[in-house]
């Protein structure tokens, strides 16, 4: 294995005592299994703002102009979220291969409740820090620990992380992008039907960094809902017999990567260095 992927992560998921209520939220699978194969860059947005532990609970509220903000529930005080996050995000730019957020947090959560000033829920939004990560760090895979409870989502997230890490290492080493695309072509196809054509066309018209940005965007796309049929068709094109009773993309991929069916081309991305089918 080459350079370990670097993942941003909410500090509390690594067991750090940073939560408002001091309840530890250590995620054992991330720490004990995934942590052996990636590098973590932990960060707690609230602590970075100088807030104490413990501290009063906060929530997302929408102001009169429709903008969301973090507000202390007890007294309605608006927390200025622009004090220290820009420096951290600047250090992350171009380095991270993904980010794992703490679910339901007004700073880190993905699609958390938003309230009006009277305390009535008025919709959902990503947390204030999560929004800044997505807007300022470009195309990187993101998820929270609840999403990791779903096997397909977990697989997609970590496949994307290791693809992105491999891409950056490949480009940094001065190797031709076409070689990397060939190696991961089926994984790219499962995200975008004409991925390889898009990348080839971009390579003829754009500068190198712009082409890499397009590849990053494709890597972060969701898996196509017809992924299992795509895999079966690809196998048949290579003369491989596949049981059409198999309806799960993950089941089919597991059969192929087990070596039961030998492929003579790069049909799959490189396997993970850890077992992604964790116990729930």
Both tokens assigned to 60: 């997302």
CB atoms within 10 A of CB 252: 21
Q: What is the pLDDT of residues 184-202, one digit of tens each?
A: 888 888 899 888 888 988 8
CA distance 189 to 219: 10
Q: What is the pLDDT of residues 137-176, one digit of tens each?
A: 989 999 999 999 988 888 899 999 999 999 999 888 888 8
The DSSP 8-state label assigned to residue 115 in this structure reads E
Nearest to 202 by CA among 212, 192, 193: 212
* Per-residue pLDDT, 241: 67
Q: Where are the chain's structural domains?
A: 6-144, 149-257
Q: What is the mean pLDDT of residues 240-263?
A: 64
The 3-class SS string of 51-108 reads: CCCCCCCEEEEECCCCCEEEEECCCCCECCCCCCHHHHHHHHCCCCCEEEECCCCCCC
Q: What are the φ and ψ backbone dihedral angles of 96, each rounded to 5 degrees?
A: -80, 145
* Per-residue pLDDT, 127: 96
* Per-residue pLDDT, 255: 66
Any bridge partners for residue 58, and if so which? 72
Check: pTM over 0.75? Answer yes or no. Answer: yes
């Amino acid at each position: 294995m080459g350079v370990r992927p670097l993942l941003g992560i909410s500090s509390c998921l690594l067991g750090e005592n940073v939560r408002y209520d001091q309840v530890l939220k250590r995620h054992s699978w991330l720490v004990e299994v995934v942590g052996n194969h990636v590098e973590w860059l932990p960060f707690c947005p609230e602590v970075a703002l100088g807030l104490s532990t413990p501290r009063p609970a906060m929530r997302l509220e929408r102001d009169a102009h429709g903008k969301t903000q973090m507000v202390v529930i007890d007294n309605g005080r608006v927390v200025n979220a622009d004090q220290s996050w820009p420096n951290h995000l600047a250090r992350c730019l171009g380095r991270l291969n993904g980010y794992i957020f703490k679910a339901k947090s007004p700073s880190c959560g993905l699609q958390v409740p938003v309230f009006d000033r009277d305390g009535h829920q008025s919709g959902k939004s990503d947390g204030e820090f999560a929004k800044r990560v997505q807007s300022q760090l470009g195309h990187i895979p993101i998820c929270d620990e609840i999403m990791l409870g779903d096997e397909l989502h977990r697989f997609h997230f970590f496949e994307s992380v290791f693809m992105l890490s491999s891409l950056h290492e490949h480009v940094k080493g001065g190797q031709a992008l076409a070689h990397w695309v060939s190696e991961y072509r089926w994984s790219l196809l499962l995200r975008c039907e004409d991925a390889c054509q898009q990348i080839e066309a971009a390579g003829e018209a754009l500068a190198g960094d712009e082409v890499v940005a397009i590849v990053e965007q494709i890597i972060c796309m969701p898996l196509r809902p017809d992924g299992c049929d795509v895999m079966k068709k690809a196998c048949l094109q290579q003369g491989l017999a596949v049981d059409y009773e198999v309806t799960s993309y993950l089941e089919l991929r597991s059969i192929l990567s087990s070596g039961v069916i030998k492929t003579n081309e790069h049909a799959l991305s490189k396997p993970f260095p850890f077992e992604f089918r964790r116990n729930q």
